[in-house]
Structure 1
């Protein structure tokens, strides 16, 4: 049978759905692991005699690990393949999560959380890359957007699970709260057994027969493989993403992600503190409303991802985000209703547009450096997340809520300017054409 259909144009099948579920499951674990520490810290702090320094260090340790590992694992995934990293990360999630039960010092917990962040960085670099290389172009944006949406679900579920486990009481319950992340990770590890390698990666390395076997097994013998690489086969070289051809895209991928998460991580981590500074009386209700809008935004982002252009999505999102926080600076003595409305809009749009983080970078680069570039963008984004988490409480204490909101608004306006200047359009085109700078 002649190979007449491109992988980009075949209908979505059971294999696509299965890979999508297994990959979004990894993002669920990421969100769960990063979210569960907040509740555990409130309990383990007195037992491990944590100082303010250690509270901050352990709270941000996974983010530090994410920063340290992202670029390395991006390069390694392009070097040795998607599948080995795809399997190893989940196995490590299980092992390290369980080891948290046995910690007896603040240093031990810091190291384990650092290692978890390091492992999460591998999942960030690999999951979106693998999924983008397997999903047809008309479904690519929607399914990739599910990665970030599922991260949000994992984060919220970790909060619910942590509060539920608190009712079982006991001084050591924080250990079980931390270990609980091993449960979804173990289930996912079993499901991922037998996963396939990316045919695009195999073709980029000249492994044509292996690519054909994967395509024949999961998509059919009528599906082409000769169009999966539009350029001469190249080695994976880190320096390529910084050359004249790709450096603008590399800068945009890292900066739009970094400037998006900088205010978001800080405010979501310390939302009760922010609401207290704004003189909101019912902090629990306000936090609950914000989390509901966070989930709603994540779902909305998935729904609209392939219905509007990527470029317009990122530009108008930053505009609305800047306005929502800017109103808190411009309106003197805003009422509780105004504050909650502004934050709800911010959280809804931030969560929805956050789905671009798992879509956009994966579409901007060719196969042989795709994961390297995604890893670099992830690394830059973790700088923003760590800075937001570390500096927000300091800024609130030293400068006050209004100046802090003004600074965050300025950051979002900078992101808007960068997006207007550099954001490419990658929606509804083949992955090869989307990654072709000369065609954009």
Structure 2
């Protein structure tokens, strides 16, 4: 045996979840878990394009347009708040597939809707299933991920939201050519959901969750199958299982809930409004190409969001969580502020301003799931993520519901001023409350000082 091989084996000996080398299982788990964010981005974005056909077809009022854009977000609030706690109680694996089956069924049923009420109910149910998936998938990835890769793997899940949104934008762009294109748009989410649910059946239960329930032998067996035969339980302290759900609502954990909920809300209020009504918003800027150019521009903005997420993922372990979060909010606010001051500045300047907002929004976006999964212990991690998801969706639902009203009543410029102000609030709150968890073991990051 040569020196290099001996050294490699010694480094892997006795590895734990935090110190393990990144392997094929970690990549597979992250890919399959990213299916939920992909579907969320796809489902939320596709409705923005489908509404271009649905509104005139049904003579939909501004009230119904706002409700339709907010319906899935309301569902995410319910799903996250309810099923996060269920996931902590019964485990990650079971819920990991049930939620996607619900998305498949409801997606197909959307093809047959004939009025606003039917569509609203189905999108509400889809939102509940998506909201349930957030704490399930992110908790699983966090609890398996090595320390050196945790931010990239968990943050990468959020990047897939933008992949889904980008795919939806271009699928919708081509399906708009058909009079019944909106039906196929809404039903199309069943296809990726079916592929993802089949893939997820091979993922085991979280060893951290098993140990928190006193199931040491099962935890060790799974750990050795996924990390290596010489893996140990050294970094999985059993005392995590004693933390109560009530601790989320008092003391240090309450402060963390407030911080995460506020910055998460500030990140997605403007983001989801743009995704739900992107083509309509862009047509209000003085673009020469009209609706077609606005729809194409909508797809390009999605690409800028994705680029921002990728850049933030490359920098988050180098610069740290705090600088990425605070700087991202501050610069994205400048992009929105320019759009408020100069909404008539022409195609290229509007495109650059949107690009600045979208790219720098990447930092806050990836931290939506990194922070809540790092700052709470295993026994209540999914509950905390679900609670923070739900709270953030209240704000985003209100923002999405109010967007058509704001554009009609206040005008484009005033709406952009409000969006810029929200981003600045995120920067200020983050400056006062954001902790730094770079290079910290998961148990240490989740433990109150």
- Asked if TM exceeds 0.5, the reply is yes
> Which residue is 2:258 aligned to?
251
User: Of 83, 91, 94, which aligns to 1:84?
Assistant: 94
The within-5 A match list for 1:289-300 is 289-300=300-311
Aligned to 2:4: none
Residue of structure 1 in register with 2:140 after alignment: 130
Distance 1:28 1:332 in 2: 31
Are the equivalent residues in 1 in contact too, given 2:91–2:209 (CA < 8 A)? yes
Q: Are 1:145 and 1:305, in contact at CA under 8 Å, matched by a contact in 2?
A: no
Match of 1:23 in 2: 33
Count of residue pairs the alignment pairs up: 435
Asked if residue 38 in structure 1 is aligned to residue 48 in structure 2, the reply is yes
Corresponding residue number in structure 1 for 2:215: 207
Q: CA deviation at 1:68?
A: 1.7
- 1:314-353 maps to which residues of 2 (within 5 A)? 314-329=325-340, 334-353=345-364
Aligned-pair RMSD on alpha carbons? 2.3
Secondary structure at the counterpart of residue 231 of structure 1: helix
Q: Distance in 2 between matches of 1:289 and 1:178?
A: 21
Q: Distance in 1 between matches of 2:183 and 2:424?
A: 42
> Could you tell me how far 1:396 is from its partner in structure 2?
2.8
SS at match of 2:20: coil
Query: Which of these residues, 388, 404, 413, is aligned with residue 399 of structure 2?
Result: 388
Partner of 2:410: 399
- Relative distance call for 1:48 and 1:229 in structure 2 (3 A) is farther
3-state SS of the aligned residue for 2:317?
Answer: coil
- Between the aligned partners of 2:85 and 2:386, the Cα distance in structure 1 is 7
Distance 1:334 1:107, change over 3 A: closer
Alpha-carbon distance between aligned partners in 1 of 2:167 and 2:240, rounded to the nearest angstrom: 45
Shift of 1:202: 0.6
Give the corresponding residue for 1:241: 248
Q: Does structure 1 residue 261 correspond to structure 2 residue 271?
A: no
Q: Which residue of structure 2 lines up, in the alignment, with residue 111 of structure 1?
A: 121
Equivalent residues in 2 for 1:99-178 (5 A)?
99-167=109-177, 169=178, 171-178=179-186
Q: Distance in 2 between matches of 1:327 and 1:172?
A: 38
Alignment-derived partner of residue 193 in structure 1 = 201
After TM superposition, the structure 1 = structure 2 runs for residues 3-82 of structure 1, keeping only pairs within 5 Å, are 4-48=14-58, 50-82=60-92
Is contact 2:62–2:405 with CA below 8 Å preserved after alignment?
no
Partners in 2 of 1:276 and 1:411 — Cα distance?
23
**In the superposition, relative to structure 1, how do residues 219 and 326 fare at CA in structure 2: closer, same or farther (>3 Å)?**
same
Which region of structure 1 is more displaced relative to structure 2, 221-230 or 181-190? Answer: 221-230
Where do 5+ consecutive residues of structure 1 fail to align?
Answer: none
Counterpart Cα distance in 2 of 1:175 and 1:399 = 32
- 1:11-38 deviations in Å (ceiling 9; x for gaps): 0111111111111122212211222222
Measure how far apart 1:436 and its partner are: 1.5
Moved more, 301-310 or 361-370: 301-310
- Structure 2 distance, partners of 1:232, 1:260, is 30
- For residue 5 of structure 2, what is the aligned residue in structure 1? none
Match of 2:232 among 224, 240, 243: 224
Residue deviations 1:285-310, cap 9 Å, x none? 54344233223222222222322201
- The DSSP-based 3-state class of the residue aligned with 1:425 is coil
Aligned equivalents of 1:216, 1:379: Cα separation in 2: 35
State the TM-score, normalizing by the size of structure 1. Answer: 0.92
Contact 2:66-2:402 within 8 A present in 1 as well: no
